[in-house]
Amino acid sequence: MGASQRSGAVDKRRLILDAAITVFARQGFHHCRVSDVADEAGVAYGLVYHYFDSKEEILNELFLERWQIMLDAIAEIDRLGEVPARDKLYMVASFIIDSYRHQPDLMKVIIVEVTRAANSFGRIHLEKIREAYAGIAEIVESARREGVFKPDISAEFAAMCFYGAIEQLLSGWIFDLLPQTEEQYEGAKGLVVDAICGGLEVSKSGAQPVSG
In the complex, the residues that contact DNA under the rule CB under 7 A are 4-7, 9, 12, 32-35, 43-47, 49-50, 54-56
Helices 155-174 and 126-145, packing angle to 10 deg: 120
Q: Out of 72, 126, 146, 210, which residue is the one contacting a copy of itself (CB under 8 A)? A: 126
Q: Out of 4, 181, 205, 211, which residue is the one contacting a copy of itself (CB under 8 A)? A: 205
Q: How far is CA 13 from the centre of its chain?
A: 23
* Binding-residue pattern over the window 28 to 67 for a copy of itself, x denoting contact by CB under 8 A: x-xx------------------------------------
126 binds, among DNA, a copy of itself, none (CB under 5 to 8 A by kind): a copy of itself
Name, in order, each residue with C-beta under 8 angstroms of 110's C-beta and a sequence gap of 6 or more.
62, 63, 66, 67
The distance of closest approach from Cβ of residue 191 to DNA in the complex, given in angstroms and rounded to an integer, is: 40
- Yes or no: say if 62 and 25 are a contact pair by the CB < 8 Å rule: no
166 binds, among DNA, a copy of itself, none (CB under 5 to 8 A by kind): a copy of itself
161 binds, among DNA, a copy of itself, none (CB under 5 to 8 A by kind): a copy of itself
Measuring CA to CA, which residue among 137, 113, 155, 129 is closest to residue 25? Answer: 113
- Yes or no: say if 97 and 188 are a contact pair by the CB < 8 Å rule: yes
Measuring CA to CA, which residue among 161, 153, 114, 118 is closest to residue 136? Answer: 161
The distance of closest approach from Cβ of residue 91 to DNA in the complex, given in angstroms and rounded to an integer, is: 38
44 binds, among DNA, a copy of itself, none (CB under 5 to 8 A by kind): DNA
DSSP annotation of 147: T
